[in-house]
Structure 1
Amino acid sequence: MFMRWVVVLLLVLPGGGRAEEIAYPEDSVAQDEDAVPMEADGDELLEPSMDEEDAQPEKAPRAMSGSRSRWANRLSLEMTTWALLPRRRADSDEGFLQVQPRLEVVNPGFLQLDLSAPVRLRMWGGGEGASLVRKEDWDELSDWGQVVQNLMVGGDAPNFVWVGALESYTLLSGHLVRRYNNRGNPDYHPAGAVVTGMLRPLYVEAFASDVLGARLMGAEVVLDVQHVFFGRRPFPMKYALSLSAVHDWGKAGGTSEPMTLAHLDGTAILVSRRNKEKGFELQANAGWGGRPGEGGAWGAVAGLGAEYMSSTMDMRARLEGRLQRGGFRQGAFGPDYELARFQRASPDARTQADAPFPDGYSAHGEVILSWDAESLGVLGQRHFRMSMGAEVFNWGRVEVDGRMETQLFLRNLSVGVGGVAVGAGRPGARYLVSGDARWRFLGGKLYAVGQAGTLLFPTAEGTLRPGAFASVGLGVDNAR
């Protein structure tokens, strides 16, 4: 359980709370995020925390076609109206027919492949000469990454490759990349990639926010200190040191100033209580980071993390105190970064890279809760899930982001709401909210979908244009 916080990989894919998601061919081979793989000699493997609940399978009766073999598949087609609504008088509304075919193929522990992309056909708006297909969805190479919703090769931790949307991604210790959304810009649709591997006593995780463009790239290396001094232990990573570095090339999804950050962290498990039914763990962490090549830009952090886990509940929490100096801040690559790289949440309309962050200190907290009345034994099966983070600065700034999802009425109804507030309490603050619902009926093969929310679109002048969207429609699949 230690790696639930030391190796945090939060990959929450689009369409939260989708109760209709696919099931592995047999429950006995389903990969459970709560299971800890063991080696032959009983040594616990280092395990990333994979919160892919939206894209992961669910138990029968929502089984995929071909459930008698290890290979299974699911085909679906959604047709919805998708409207962009103005939030300023000068803007005009636009309407589209969104057609989204989807193919999912699964062989548990070996391969998961999910191909899908929305094609938006213009029905009204856009002005004279507007294209039939919304051009902003496909006007650069990176946009073709949205075709790959999920690709995982070698599904067993600690060695695997994952490609897809990074909607709430955290790089291990989380002090550089925390809860990052690589599709926060609604006109930029990249596919990110995550690669992990272990060569004891080292564990490595590397990522790219865009596999088709030069954007965020980084890695973190974790050293098992106990292994170095005392050899291989039954429970690794009780004491760990890690070094992370992330660079933004700024050459995709619109150009922006390059930026590099680095961080050094130490983590220790203070309390560990485990049995077959439940477990509890308490960890302490401390670290220091900065911007290489820029003197005086540094920060420090110290805090505690805890996790409680049983067959029906998985709860993780973290509380940290942070210090910022010279423009550096922890979690700089966060949920708002794809907008802040063009215009940060402040009245001066400057970018995050060229606008120094004020000196000060802050308190950061995060809670991730998953609960199911039956069992958490199958990914995607969650009666309730909440993920929320908040940071409060001593000079009056507040940042909050989160999402809540629930499955109701025998999991036929899924509802999710989420939002981001950046710079609350200060001039130039911005707020984004969204919600979605999905309801299965007529035996489950047919379902209705609805989504709505607010958006910010980067412009050629480097500012952000506010907007909103709404979408309703129907879908059909062979899930059951």
Structure 2
Amino acid sequence: MRTMRRGAVWLWLPLPVAAWAEDVPEAPPVEEERRPLDEAWRILLRVEATTLAFLPHAGFGADEGFLQVEPTLILDGGAEFGLNLGTPRRLRLWGGGGAAGFVRREDWDSLSDFGQVVRGLKLGSNDAPVGVWFGALESYSLLSAHLVRRYSNRSNPDYHPAGGFLTGTLGPLYTQAFASDVLGARLMGAEVALDLEHVLFGKPRAQGRYTLALSAVHDWGEAGGHASPVTLAHLDATAVVVVRPGFEAHLLAGWGGRPGAGGAWGAVVGAGVDAVTPTLDMRLRLEVRRQHGGFRQGYFGPDYELARFKAAGPEGVALAEAPFPDGYSTYGEAEVGWDAVRYGGLSKHLKLSLGVEAFSWGRFDVDGRVAVQFFARSLEVALKGLGVGMGQPGARYLGAAEARWRLLGGKLYAMGTGGTLLFLTPEGTLRPGAFASVGLGVDNAR
């Protein structure tokens, strides 16, 4: 909620690795807004067929192989509406034992799994008083992001919920509320930001320069596997101190705690800059944090869907019960998008996202993603990696890579992807595994 940005409503999520790199622009280009009525709707059709193998860690059972068929339908209605439907159908080729079905059971064994059919539904734009979005949450942050930062609701490979968030503006108030699973009792929260300049001096020319915000998040723990409920709250103050065309800088401070847990609190101070040009969109943030009594900023982060069952570390317990030493940390985050022609739309030559936190007692957490396009956008390579608890016993590492090469004028493409996974067992432990796939796809994107 800055003078330049007031919370984007994302739509396109077609790829397991590179999905986050294919968002819609926050402000549609002028020519897009003035499309003739008969061109107001655009349709993209896509079908992918790949061989997919899940490869368990040694000693954890047999391999499983599938034919994965993935149809996609995208309806683009401009700034106010968009719909993305489609989900992988995994048909067993080998493995799984005698009781295994033809269709992979773990993909459809709960009500929440049916949410994966809707990859993205957008109603409203950034300029509308109310905006709604449903679909997969990939690297999602709740406004100030001191409770929910870079969170993914699909980190558990056997849990496929559809999340959603709502944004609204009423006078000096700006609100965002979210749910990680709209079909189950899981992670829910909201943040309400008050524009102090609006309250004290009337409606400003540039909104959101001086804000006071309150956020609260609760995990019911009743979907995607049972886990201990937890509640966190945070208070934030932000001041935009430098505003230039295409550039702004802000300072921030905040304090948070865990209601019902005495002595669990944390504080944060920091600064950030946003820069926007016709070809570049960049956001940088640096924070110094204090943690006490088990509370930490970014508690609901990229590893949370696994950590809520077993946190990284030697204790082997759930995150809600895991000890977290008192101390300080430094957190840095960079979001960079660049395109040689014009930034925006579904194609970007570079999309980089990186978050790093270093703790005073020797722990490091890293979450990074990068997608790059080569050869007139014919080849796209995407990488992502996660390291949690590095520098300490019981550190957790996950990674994945994907490549797509468009052929025959771009309508046909070859693809390959692979990486590591952690599967939740009935006993509540995490089983290491890996995945790999190769195949072909066709669409009318070009």
TM-score, with structure 2 as normaliser: 0.94
Aligned to 2:107: 137
Residue in structure 2 matching 1:474, options 433, 440, 445: 440
Secondary structure, in 3 states, of the residue corresponding to 2:260? Answer: coil
Question: How far did 1:2 drift?
Answer: 2.3
Question: Hey, what does 1:118 align to over in structure 2?
Answer: 88
How far has the Cα of 1:270 moved from its partner?
Answer: 1.1
Do 1:406 and 1:415's aligned partners in 2 also have CA atoms closer than 8 Å?
yes
Q: What are the within-5 Å matches in structure 2 for residues 62-461 of structure 1? A: 68-158=38-128, 159-274=130-245, 279-376=246-343, 378-461=344-427
Residues 9 and 125, structure 2, Cα contact 8 Å, conserved in 1: no
Query: Once superposed, what is the RMSD of the aligned Cα atoms?
Result: 2.3
The Cα of 1:463 is off from its aligned counterpart by 1.1
Distance 2:278 2:434 in 1: 40
Distance change in 2, residues 1:239/1:19 (3 Å): closer
User: Does the 8 Å CA contact 1:5/1:305 hold for their aligned counterparts?
Assistant: no
2:79 and 2:247 map into 1 onto residues whose CA distance is: 27
Task: Describe the SS at the equivalent of 1:284.
Answer: strand
Deviation at 1:426, TM superposition (A): 0.4
Structure 1 residue 69, shift from structure 2 partner = 1.8
Q: How far did 1:155 drift? A: 2.8
Displacement of 1:409 after TM fit?
Answer: 1.2
Distance 1:12 1:183, change over 3 A: farther
Aligned to 2:26: 33
Contact 1:10 1:179 in 2 (8 A): no
Question: Structure 1: how far apart are the matches of 2:267 and 2:384?
Answer: 30
Partner SS, residue 133 of structure 1: coil
Q: CA 1:10–1:388 in structure 2 vs 1: closer, same or farther (change >3 Å)?
A: farther
Distance (Å, rounded) in 2 between the aligned partners of 1:235 and 1:250: 40
- Is 153-162 or 346-355 further displaced after alignment? 153-162
Give the number of the structure with larger relative contact order, counting CA–CA contacts within 8 Å between residues 6 or more apart: 1
Structure 1's 100 and 185: CA in aligned 2 closer, same or farther, altered over 3 A?
same
CA distance in 1, matches of 2:145, 2:60: 41
Distance in 2 (CA, whole Å) between partners of 1:355 and 1:67 is 57
Deviation at 1:67, TM superposition (A): 9.9
The residue identity in structure 1 corresponding to 2:40 is R
Return the alpha-carbon distance in structure 1 between the equivalents of residues 143 and 384 of structure 2.
Answer: 23
Cα 1:34/1:479, change in 2 over 3 Å: closer
Q: Distance in 2 between matches of 1:450 and 1:93?
A: 19
TM-score (norm 1): 0.88
What is the one-letter code of the residue matched to 1:33? E
Question: Conserved in 2, the CA contact under 8 Å of 1:224 and 1:236?
Answer: yes
The unaligned stretches of length 5 or more in structure 2 are none
Quickly say closer, same or farther: Cα 1:12–1:399, change in 2 above 3 A: farther
Q: Structure 1 residues 129, 135: CA separation in 2 closer, same or farther (over 3 Å shift)? A: same
AA at the equivalent of 1:109: A
The Cα offsets for residues 173-201 of structure 1, whole Å up to 9 and x where unpaired, read as 00000000000000000000010010010
Q: Which moved more, 1:66-75 or 1:197-206?
A: 66-75
- Structure 1 residue identity aligned to 2:58: R
Task: Give the letter for the 2:139 counterpart.
Answer: S
Residues of 2 paired with 1:285 and 1:223: CA distance?
A: 14
Choose 353-362 or 452-461, whichever is displaced more. 353-362
CA 1:20–1:88 in structure 2 vs 1: closer, same or farther (change >3 Å)? closer
User: Which secondary structure does the structure 2 equivalent of 1:145 belong to?
Assistant: helix
Q: Distance in 2 between matches of 1:20 and 1:327?
A: 34
Report what 2:2 is aligned to: 2
Same amino acid, percent of matched pairs: 58
Q: Which residue of 2 aligns with 1:63?
A: none
The answer to whether the 8 Å contact 1:265/1:288 transfers is yes
Residue identity opposite 1:180 in structure 2: Y
